[in-house]
Amino acid sequence: MQPLVLASSSPYRRELLTRLRQPFTWSAPAVDETPHPGENAENLVRRLAESKARALSEAHPHHLIIGSDQVAVLGEQILGKPHDFTRAHRQLVAASGTSVTFITGLAVLNSATGDCQIDAIPFTVHFRQLSDEQINRYLEAEQPYDCAGSFKAEGLGVSLFRATEGEDATSLVGLPLIRLVSMLNNQGVSIP
């Protein structure tokens, strides 16, 4: 089996990938994540997932490289990582009582052959009606400033939800394992 490399510095993605019980290494790719003018969310995450995988191909010439990227979409607006309390508060106020769709781009690159599988997996979160007090308490408790959408679904963030909808809940955390297993199987990796 070709060694696996996760093209990400995300501790959330690393934690998810360990569930598959396959040895892997990880490395942070140097990729400009700026959207192209007029680029929609799905095309953006597909492009970035592939770019992240390809960015590591020279350093890992005989590997299966996993790239992933995620955006949150509220209406037509792409929500980025908030990076601070004020932006996170603003995002959660906008999401309150509405739905946010998370689109996760996934790529598996066989760096030996150049074969690259790419997909985009949506997952929708339906938010409860949230008061300023609830939002403030949540942000103070979890400080999810490095998460698109301003919450951690694997933590207390689930308390903000009314419901979720999608084929793969792990895509919400940033690495859709159901689709990843299919891609790895296509490359000859047997899981389980």
- Catalytic pick among 32, 69, 84, 168: 69
Output 137-145 pairs: Cβ under 8 A, ≥24 positions apart. 138/92, 139/85, 139/88, 139/89, 139/92, 143/85, 144/82, 144/88, 145/81, 145/82, 145/83, 145/84, 145/85, 145/87, 145/88
Assign 57 to helix, strand or coil: coil
32 is catalytic: no
User: Could you say which DSSP state residue 60 is in?
Assistant: S
Do the beta carbons of residue 160 and residue 127 sit within 8 Å? Answer: yes
Assign 66 to helix, strand or coil: strand
User: Could you say which DSSP state residue 32 is in?
Assistant: -
Does an H or E element contain 105, and which? strand 99-110
Angle (nearest 5°) at CA 80 between 77 and 82 = 120
Residues identified as active-site:
69
